[in-house]
Amino acid sequence: MLDAAAHMLLQQAKIKGERPADASFLPMSLAMACLLRQLPSGLAPPAGGLSFHQLDRLPRETLERTLAAMLLDEPLRAFTFVCALIKYAKLARQLLGICHEHMSNRRTTVQATQAVMQAVVEALPPLAAEVEEEEEEREREIVEEKLEAKAVVVTAERPSVKVSENRPGTLENRAAAAAAVATDPAGIMRRAVGRDIGDGSAVLETMRKFPTDARIQAHGVRALKGVVRSAPEVQKPRTDSFLTSGSASEEDEKELVRGTRETKTSSRLVVQMVIDKMKQFPESLPLQRDGLLCLAEYASQAEEHIAIITSSGGSISLINAMAALPDDVPANMAGLSVLAHPKIADEAVVRVNPESRRLVLSAMERFPLNEQVQGLSCLALANLSLRQDASMLEIVSKGGLEIVVESMKRFSTTALVQAAGCWFIAIVSGKNEEMKTTCLEAGALPACEKARLRFPTDPKVQQHAVQAIHTMLPGEVIEGEETSSPETCTLQ
């Protein structure tokens, strides 16, 4: 749109014979560079939503679908996006007006250039004085450290290494690249998100340029969390258009398969980067938190994603992040949702760290009044106990059975807590006679019976409550009992 506006402006100047007296197009070039090529960070839409680069690349149907989902799920982010569009449109009209005045010889080149720069600066958000001073001080420290390190390297290596003196400083360049530190990490990552087309490639490229900068990596993981979250929305229009078109050709089908494969590959690269950065920067709590939320979002999208996370070492990163954020409820819920996934109990999945049992019990004790945490924790304990006798015995010995029964009593009207608690009790009581006696002594039988009577129409509660009662009291006849014995349980 801006390219067309600039072209029309030049055509109008040509028709009317308008030409700057000094024959300079510097103001227009500067304005177009600010608006199209190097948009200042303060003028870009907020990270995690739609970007100007996506507006240029994605089809209109996808943009409308994404904006509609944003309005429903995140109205505040949609509002900030509209505000960014208004600011951008206002600035574009102001800069084009300055360029028109310059070509009409109502402004000189110097005046127009200064006006363009002033308009862009005024459109940027104000930077606090303290933040500006901190950035300047940090830049000075970084420059001094690099100069000192370079002087030490040159002094130590020049007498002993003669062959490398005639070659480019490959080692020094690699070391400098590895030690690169960004002066404006938030702005750099916002520009990367603006260039990204939804697959995270631009964000990954920027993160690789600053591999040791914890601030860049933290902003990058947050941006990748948005990429993973929006991946199904990007893929869905392709599938919908393929299904709704009655005469889809073989080429269309191949294109759909190719696009789906590319989306899965890019998502795996994104998740692998998140896991690697969680391992590399364990002290960065914002990075750990966003990494947890990203893994939880990825795990909820497809069942096979759990195997990808665990085989990539994600379970260790997940456990370490939960341990580093013991008082963060959303972070703990994200970690518990992964441990509560049915595929965690699958034999084909790499077993999670034994530390996870302690963290699950700790979360239940730390947040006793949060029904979501209690329900996810009960299901996570059931997953960690299924087909794992040693794990189940340790959970029971640490008081896990009593904690689950107490949670079922506290949240007697919450179906997800009752279903998950009954399933855990069924697993434990079905181990042997000793575990059956332990469950009876802990009051598990009346808890399961109350759950069955309170939720007569809930199939999950009925299924697992009947299974638990049968394991504790074999041969007991229960009215309306379910005959199946599932291997997994899912929360409603």
- Residue by residue, DSSP assigns 280-346 as H-TT-HHHHHHHHHHHHHHHHH-THHHHHHHHTTHHHHHHHHHHH-TT-HHHHHHHHHHHTSGGGG-
Query: Do 470 and 429 meet the contact criterion of CB atoms below 8 Å apart?
Result: no
Summarize pLDDT for 12-68 with one digit per residue, the tens: 556 666 566 665 667 777 677 667 666 666 667 766 677 777 777 788 888 888 888
387 HSE (CA, 13 A, CB side):
12
Residue 155 is predicted with a pLDDT of 46
- Between CA 304 and CA 296 the distance in angstroms is 13
What interhelical angle do 109-123 and 75-103 show, nearest 10? 170
Say which residue the tokens 């809930």 belong to: 458
Say which residue the tokens 């970084």 belong to: 142
Question: For 97-105, which contacts have Cβ atoms below 8 Å and span 24 or more sequence positions?
Answer: 98/27, 98/31, 99/6, 99/9, 99/27, 99/28, 99/31, 100/9, 100/13, 102/20, 102/27, 102/28, 103/9, 103/13, 103/18, 103/19, 103/20, 103/28, 104/13, 104/18, 105/18, 105/20, 105/21
Lookup: tokens for 225: 């969390």
- Between CA 4 and CA 490 the distance in angstroms is 54
From the list 482, 406, 393, the residue with the least C-alpha distance to 444 is: 406
Q: Residue 2: is it exposed, middle or buried by C-beta count within 10 angstroms (0-12/13-18/19+)?
A: middle
Torsion of CA 285, 286, 292, 293, to 10 degrees: 160
CA torsion sign for 172, 174, 177, 179 is: negative
DSSP state at residue 41: G
- Between CA 61 and CA 23 the distance in angstroms is 44
Q: What is the DSSP string of 144-209?
A: HHHHHHHHHHHHHHTTT--GGGGS--HHHHHHHHHT---S-HHHHHHHHHHH--SSSHHHHHHHHH
State the CB neighbour count (10 A cutoff) for residue 428: 28
- Between CA 256 and CA 238 the distance in angstroms is 7
Query: Do 2 and 32 meet the contact criterion of CB atoms below 8 Å apart?
Result: yes
Q: Is 84 helix (H, G, I), strand (E, B) or coil?
A: helix
Residue type, 190: R
Q: Mean pLDDT, the chain, as a whole number?
A: 77
Pick among 2.40.10.10, 1.25.10.10, 3.40.120.10, 3.40.50.300: CATH of 354-492: 1.25.10.10
Residue 291 is predicted with a pLDDT of 94
In angstroms, the first-to-last Cα distance of the chain is 47
State the CB neighbour count (10 A cutoff) for residue 349: 18
Residue 385 is predicted with a pLDDT of 85
Domain-wise residue ranges, the chain: 2-125, 185-240+254-343, 354-492
Contacts of residue 409, defined as CB under 8 A and 6 or more positions apart, other chains included, come to: 447
Q: Is 26 helix (H, G, I), strand (E, B) or coil?
A: helix
Alpha helices in 75-128, H assignment, sequence order: 75-103, 109-123
- Between CA 357 and CA 138 the distance in angstroms is 42
DSSP state at residue 42: G
DSSP state at residue 49: S
- Between CA 110 and CA 182 the distance in angstroms is 32
- Read off the pTM: 0.59
CA torsion sign for 210, 228, 420, 407 is: positive
Q: Which residues of the chain have pLDDT under 70?
A: 1-25, 30, 33-34, 36-43, 46-48, 125-180, 232-260, 345-353, 476-492
State the CB neighbour count (10 A cutoff) for residue 314: 28
